[in-house]
Structures are given as C-alpha cells and as structure tokens.
Chain A
Amino acid sequence: MLVVEVANGRSLVWGAEAVQALRERLGVGGRTVGALPRGPRQNSRLGLPLLLLPEEARLLAEIGAVTLVSAPRPDPRNHGLALASFKRQQEQSFQEQSTLAAEARETRRQELLEKIVEGQAAKKQKLEQDSGADEGQEASGSEATQGSETSDDGQASAEQEGADSSSPPDSSSPQPGPSNGVTPLPRSALLIQLATARPRPVKAKPLDWRVQSKDWPHAGRPAHELRYSIYRDLWERGFFLSAAGKFGGDFLVYPE
C-alpha cells in the first residue's frame, strides 16, 4: 500500500519505487520538482520529490491505491532514540567501510603483485648503478620505492578499472608501504548518504480528502471538483494526463 504525504494541499512522493509503481501500474505521472542527485545544477532533468496534481492525489485515494496522510511533524519523544540509533549506524558504517576499503586495497595489491615486484627489482638495479654518485640517494631510496609503488598502483588501477574513483581513499590515507598493515579509514573519507526520503519509519494521520482542512483545501471547491471530474473521466478511458501550465491549458492528454 503506497503512502503519500500531503502538506498545504500539495502531495509529494519521495520514494523512487513508489513513483515507478504509480507510473507503470496506475498511469499517473506527476511532475518531478527536485534536484537530480546525479546532476543537481541543471534544469533539463529533475528528480525527487514527485509533485502530484490534487486531482491525481484524489483519484489515487478514491480507487484505494494510495493512502493520503498529513505530513507528520517530528516527534520529540522519539528524538533520543533516533539520535542514538543514528550514531550507532554511523559508527557501524564507518567500521564496515574501513574493512571494505582495506579489503579492496589488499585485493588490488595481490593483483598487481607481479608488477610491484618487477618495479622494485628495476628500482634496485637503478639504485645500484647510481649508488656511487650521490650519498643522498641512499636515504631517499626507500621513499622512492614507496613512491614508485604508489604511482604503479595508481597507474595500474586506472588501466584496469578505468575509474579513478578508487584512488581518493588511497591517496587520503597514508600509504602503508610494502607491508600489509590495516590503516583505518580517515574520518574525512567516510562516505555519507544524504538521504532523500526520511530514513526512519514514522506514524502519520490519514487524510480525508472529502473534508476541507489546512492540508487539503481543495475539498468542496467548484474549480477543483470540475477539474477532477474531467481528470477521472479521461483517466478511466485510458489516457495519460499531465499538467499543461506551459501551454496555458489545464491538462495535456496523451494516448497510452
């Protein structure tokens, strides 16, 4: 059962699966009005939330596909619990991410072991050749090996995976060197999800769309009733309707 929150006469859908179900199963489109996570600074494609026309929301409630609820206010009683659980979840995520990062590093090292050994051998040869020239060469020799390892790692991973996104956690944490110590992920490299929808379940009061209230001011308005009857009729015939503000009309009707 899909739940749609209504506030001030505006119905917003925040779940992507809900949007898909509404569109594919029920033929109700709505309009995306938020920023798209992949490209938040462009206007051609927008993302969640999905804004439903009042007529669409009412239709969905009437056919029983969706429950309309008044948007719930945050409950101060649950706040302490929520805070504790959030902190716990954050720590857990941090641990898991550290482990995963370490594992990923290790597997990559294993894959490139041959190349590392080759590189080390080549460096050693080069050092032996130039050992008599500079006495500072000895001190910087170990660092140079490490440096060459990093560059080899980075190069090889770029070749293999074709994505440089895996190198940031490596570059942010200090290179462990040729040994296999597990360095923890630095706090700044922790990946955080900025949740789109509320990450916790919450209780809300159902909304009666037959009664006029602060959250649903459309009930009883003649303009709304008129639009709704037309919307319902065309929807039942199988058309797909959307808002037509851009063209100065009420609805755009598409054959489906």
Chain B
Amino acid sequence: MEPDSELATVEVPAGRVLSAAELRAARSRSQKLPQRSHGPKDFLPDGSEAQAERLRLCRQELWQLLAEERVERLGSLVAAEWRPEEGFVELKSPAGKFWQTMGYSEQGRQRLHPEEALYLLECGSIQLFYQDLPLSIQEAYQLLLTEDTLNFLQYQVFSHLKRLGYVVRRFQPSSVVSPYERQLNLDGYAQCLEDGTGKRKRSSSCRSVSKKAKALQNSLPPMSGAASSPPACDQSSQYSEKPQESSPRKGSGLSFQALGSSEPCPALAREDMECGQENDKIKNGAKGAPKPRWNFEQISFPNMASDSRHTLLPAPAPELLPANVIGRGTDAESWCQKLNQRKEKLSRRDRDQQAEVQQFREDVNADPEVQGCSSWREYKELLQRRQLQKSQPRPPHLWGQSVTPLLNPDKADSPAAVLEHVSVLQTTHLADGGYRLLEKSKGLEISFDVYQADAVATFRKNNPGKPYVRMCISGYEMIEQFDEPVPDLCSLKRLTYQSGDVPLIFALVDHGDISFYSFRDFTLPRDLEH
C-alpha cells in the first residue's frame, strides 16, 4: 500500500474519451435494450455448457452496455451553468421539452434545481458547465450532491421516480392547504387569483345550492355531498332563529353534523325526498322560466321544529329512489326531543317568570315535614338537609368513600357509554397534536412532492395542484443522523401534520434498493352497538 505521507498521492486514471470516429460510430448503435436473460431463469449452477454460454452472453452484453458513452449532437443539447454559491443551475440556452415539468423561472432567467439538472445530464438533454468546462457525470455527482443541496439518497429516489414517469418537485410548505381552507374554498380562490382569469370553475353542484343559502347567511361551507346540503338549507332558516352560536355559518355546519350523527334513518329518507325535489327545483331554476312540476302548496315538507310539527313521513315514491334502495315511512316524533341536545337558554325574563310560577304553586305550610318543625331553627335544619339532599342525590355510602361508582345510573344508557368510561386507549389520529411539534426542525424532513404521470399533459408549474403523494427519504447510510431509518412517532406526527391531507410515503434506500412504505390511520370496530 501507499505510504501515508502528505505528499503521497495516487493518480486516478482518466475515463474513456471517444475519438471522432468512435463518436460517429456511436450514432448507429442500436437504441433498444437487449432482453435481460436468454432463456428461462436458472436457479442453480449445473455446470453445463449451455448455461455457461448463456452466462457469458449475458455478461458480455452487460459490459457492452455499461461501457457505452453518451453521444449527443451539440444542437440538441441545452447549455447550463452550475452556480455553487447560489445552489442552482442556470440555463444558458432556451429550455427544451423538459421545461414543462422541471425548472423554475426567476428574474427572467430559467433555472433548474441541482437534482433536476443532474437527472437531465444523465438523460443526455443538457450539457452542464462549471467555470466554462463541461462537467462529466462523475464530477457533476461530486459537485452537485453536497450536504447543503441534496444528498445522494435523495437523488437516488428522485431519479428513480422520474424514470418511472412521475413529476417530482421539491416540497413547498407554503403550498399545503389545510382542510379548513379547502372547506372554505380558499384554495380555489387563490388559484383563480393566480390564473388571472377571474372565472370560477363550477365543479360541483353543491355550489349552486350554497349560492341559494347565501341569501340567508353570509356563506355556507360547501359540504362534501350534494345530498347533504339541501337539508342544511332547510334547517338553516330554523336554526338562525335560535340564539345558539355567534357565527351562524359555524352553527349550521356543526348542527348539521349533530343532525347527521343522531338521526340516520329518517334523515336519509327525508334527504332522498328532498334531494329529488331540491335538485329538480335547482335544475328548473337554472333552466329559466318553465313552471315547476311540483305543486308546493300540497306537498308538506317535514318540519321538526316546535311549531306546526310535521313528523309523519310517508315512504317516498319508489321511482324517485335508485335501484336496490328501499324507502319506508317513519314517524320522527321520537327524534324531536333528541334533536337539540343543548338545554334551552331562557332569557332572564323567562327564567324569572318560571321561578315565580313555581314559587306560588304550593304553600310551604302544606308540607308535613315543615309542620313537624316546632321552631325556626328546626325549620332551618330541615331546609339545610333538603339542600344537601338536592345537591348530593347520591347515597353517601357509595359516593363518600375513596372508591366510587364509575357511572351515575342516569348517565349509563347504553353499553357503549359504559365502555367509553372504561376504555384505556383513546382513538387518535396520526396528525393529532402535530401542530405542537412543528417547532422541531431537526430530523427527517419531507423532500418531494410527487404528481402522477398521467397529469403531465395538464401539469402547470405555476399551479400544480394537490400532489399525489409526498416523499420522505431515509436510508441506512445516514447512520450519523438518526439511529434508525424508520421514523419514530414524534417525527411521524410532525411530518403527517406538515403534509396536510396529502398522503405521505417514506422511501427507504438500502444500497440502491428503494422500498416505499406508508403509515395509515385506521379505526378498530367496536363490538357493541350504541
């Protein structure tokens, strides 16, 4: 081995440089890849001549393929320059076809990220210069893949995905739209602003319904299904009377959800009827002036409010329902009480009135216990006892000791409620509590946004839309950064929260083998019905 003095250096031999004749000859080589194996796969060496021959052929092809160099016409190459201090590659001549999905414009110049430039160099689309010398691929790997730009593992995953055809871009945290923003349709608004056309695309029919509701309130968040918005519209007029919450918008949203969870069957039946009628009405309204088919004088809409109740719902006409759906009539009277779980907040005058009425309802002296009191002090004691009893209706032998019953008898109305109290594990979601972890910046980070391959034709760099998936990369080689390539729960939560509603995929690179895995939320089913 070489002596270890400072001056001793080893000469690294140069790579192959093709002569002009070889360059010209390279144009006529075949563009197709030879098939991988000549014949069926062998599992064990059997020492036969045929096998040895096949092996030799395969090997020869492999060496030939590896030894080929990239030869391109100068006219088809785009010149690019690597700027190390700024960390990007600037294009010197106009970009080609790759500009549709890669690169970005800044100050009137076209630029590429280092990983994109390296990928294009390997494809033979650009010629990369550094200080006026063209870079070989080896030099480009060395110069472009440093710690502060992108590391080798991330480039491996990037090029793997690009070769498969995906559109891969760097992760932009500002592009993450929270579900609330999406609900408010802020993302569509922002996109419109960027587009500059000012035209709002009508993607779902529920928006036309929400426009109708706008007359009642400021704005209605578009619900996920069209079927859900008609009852909300109807209920909104009733709910706005009740002094529930400060913002009526939130009120209708929340109460709709309470509505949805507490009454599945009649709501469905009602919705079916309403949906058919509402949609028809909208359609008719949109068309213009034709007379509606339905005579609304005679059709009575269900009404669960306290005035003019109409809770007897007949079965809907079978021709209005989709196939295999059976509608039936219901009496929704029993649900009326369960409708509003909140206690009514009476106004002060009402409360006073009620109290007065109660006061004068009975005479104090008619109470036998009061008659049994002979002095004012005894009466006071009686009152105190009654007070205690009222505030503590619970038997003291049960509740006074250190071990108390788990539930009140009136609170345990179903086995599910009992289980709730007993359960040790709570259902959580992966992204819960993630916002608290955002300050931690060390550790695993989201590297790329990946868009699907079939979106290439409609992909716009200024407005890429929601990515298909986001990519986090780790590997066994980065031992000095983490102990384990598999992320811990803290990182998982943080990254899932950062990613928003786009699924997150972890890429694990083990010496050239890339495996993709992801974590999913799921909820275990409960054994008992409510």
Residues of A within 8 A of B (CB): 3, 5, 7-10, 12, 14-17, 19-20, 23-24, 31-45, 47-49, 51, 53, 64, 67, 69, 71-74, 79, 82-83, 86, 89, 93, 96-97, 100-101, 104, 161, 163, 165-166, 168, 172, 186-206, 208, 217, 221, 243, 245-246, 255-256
Main secondary structure of the interface of A (DSSP, over half): mixed
CA distance A10 to B479 in the complex (A): 12
Selected contact of B14 from candidates A100, A200, A243, CB within 8 Å: A200
CA distance A9 to B71 in the complex (A): 31
Q: Is the Cβ of A202 less than 8 Å from the Cβ of B133? A: no
- Interface 1/0 per residue, B59-78 and A, CB below 8 Å: 10001011111111111010
Given A194-B127, A199-B136, is A93 in contact with B36 using a C-beta cutoff of 8 Å? no
Given A194-B72, A196-B70, A255-B44, is A201 in contact with B13 using a C-beta cutoff of 8 Å? yes
Q: Is the Cβ of A191 less than 8 Å from the Cβ of B27? A: yes
For B122, give the chain A residue with the smallest CB separation. Answer: A35
Flag whether B45 is at the interface (Cβ < 8 A): yes
Given A67-B10, A82-B133, is A194 in contact with B121 using a C-beta cutoff of 8 Å? yes
Q: Is the Cβ of A192 less than 8 Å from the Cβ of B477? A: no
Q: Closest CB of chain A to B43's CB: distance in Å?
A: 10
Q: Is the Cβ of B4 less than 8 Å from the Cβ of A208? A: yes
Q: Is the Cβ of A38 less than 8 Å from the Cβ of B73? A: no
Q: Closest CB of chain B to A48's CB: distance in Å?
A: 6
Q: Which residues of the other chain, B, contact A15 by a CB distance below 8 angstroms?
A: 13, 15-16
Flag whether B104 is at the interface (Cβ < 8 A): no
Q: Is the Cβ of B9 less than 8 Å from the Cβ of A203? A: yes
- Interface 1/0 per residue, B160-175 and A, CB below 8 Å: 1011110000000000
Selected contact of A198 from candidates B71, B139, B162, B515, CB within 8 Å: B139
Extra inter-chain contacts (4) besides given A16-B66, A204-B12, CB under 8 Å: A45-B65, A82-B133, A96-B20, A104-B24
Q: Which residues of the other chain, B, contact A246 by a CB distance below 8 angstroms?
A: 513, 515
Q: Which residues of the other chain, A, contact B127 by a CB distance below 8 angstroms?
A: 192, 194
Q: Which residues of the other chain, B, contact A17 by a CB distance below 8 angstroms?
A: 67
Q: Which residues of the other chain, B, contact A5 by a CB distance below 8 angstroms?
A: 12
Given A10-B477, A40-B123, is A189 in contact with B137 using a C-beta cutoff of 8 Å? no
Q: Closest CB of chain A to B508's CB: distance in Å?
A: 8
Q: Is the Cβ of B133 less than 8 Å from the Cβ of A79? A: yes
CA distance A57 to B164 in the complex (A): 30
Flag whether B186 is at the interface (Cβ < 8 A): no
A-B pairs with beta carbons under 8 Å apart, 17 shown: A40-B124, A49-B138, A79-B131, A89-B17, A93-B23, A100-B20, A191-B24, A191-B26, A191-B27, A195-B16, A195-B137, A195-B138, A198-B14, A201-B14, A204-B10, A205-B10, A255-B44
Selected contact of A43 from candidates B11, B122, B164, CB within 8 Å: B164
Rank and list the top 8 A-B pairs by shortest CB-CB distance, nearest first: A197-B15, A245-B510, A188-B75, A245-B513, A96-B20, A35-B122, A195-B136, A31-B512
Given A191-B71, A196-B70, A245-B515, is A204 in contact with B9 using a C-beta cutoff of 8 Å? yes
Q: Which residues of the other chain, A, contact B14 by a CB distance below 8 angstroms?
A: 197-201
Q: Is the Cβ of A190 less than 8 Å from the Cβ of B73? A: yes
Q: Is the Cβ of B122 less than 8 Å from the Cβ of A97? A: no
Given A31-B512, A47-B65, is A192 in contact with B77 using a C-beta cutoff of 8 Å? yes
Selected contact of B511 from candidates A38, A93, A217, A243, CB within 8 Å: A243
Q: Is the Cβ of A193 less than 8 Å from the Cβ of B23? A: yes
Q: Is the Cβ of A12 less than 8 Å from the Cβ of B141? A: yes
For A206, give the chain B residue with the smallest CB separation. Answer: B2
Q: Which residues of the other chain, B, contact A163 by a CB distance below 8 angstroms?
A: 28
Q: Which residues of the other chain, B, contact A245 by a CB distance below 8 angstroms?
A: 476, 508-513, 515
For B8, give the chain A residue with the smallest CB separation. Answer: A206
Flag whether B464 is at the interface (Cβ < 8 A): no
CB within 8 Å of A: which of B24-76?
Answer: 24, 26-31, 33, 36, 44-45, 59, 63, 65-75
CA distance A241 to B466 in the complex (A): 43
Q: Closest CB of chain B to A97's CB: distance in Å?
A: 5
Q: Which residues of the other chain, A, contact B459 by a CB distance below 8 angstroms?
A: none
Selected contact of B142 from candidates A53, A71, A79, A168, CB within 8 Å: A71
Q: Which residues of the other chain, A, contact B11 by a CB distance below 8 angstroms?
A: 3, 201-204
Q: Is the Cβ of B68 less than 8 Å from the Cβ of A197? A: no
Given A93-B20, A192-B73, is A198 in contact with B15 using a C-beta cutoff of 8 Å? yes
Q: Is the Cβ of B163 less than 8 Å from the Cβ of A197? A: no
Q: Is the Cβ of B163 less than 8 Å from the Cβ of A14? A: no
Flag whether B236 is at the interface (Cβ < 8 A): no
Flag whether B292 is at the interface (Cβ < 8 A): no
Given A45-B33, A202-B12, is A190 in contact with B132 using a C-beta cutoff of 8 Å? no
For B19, give the chain A residue with the smallest CB separation. Answer: A96
CA distance A162 to B133 in the complex (A): 37
Flag whether B439 is at the interface (Cβ < 8 A): no
Q: Is the Cβ of A195 less than 8 Å from the Cβ of B15? A: yes
Q: Is the Cβ of B75 less than 8 Å from the Cβ of A3? A: no
CA distance A31 to B124 in the complex (A): 22
CA distance A124 to B164 in the complex (A): 56
Q: Is the Cβ of B152 less than 8 Å from the Cβ of A42? A: no
Q: Which residues of the other chain, B, contact A190 by a CB distance below 8 angstroms?
A: 73-74
Selected contact of B69 from candidates A8, A33, A193, CB within 8 Å: A193
Q: Closest CB of chain A to B84's CB: distance in Å?
A: 11
Given A16-B66, A35-B123, A206-B1, is A195 in contact with B12 using a C-beta cutoff of 8 Å? no
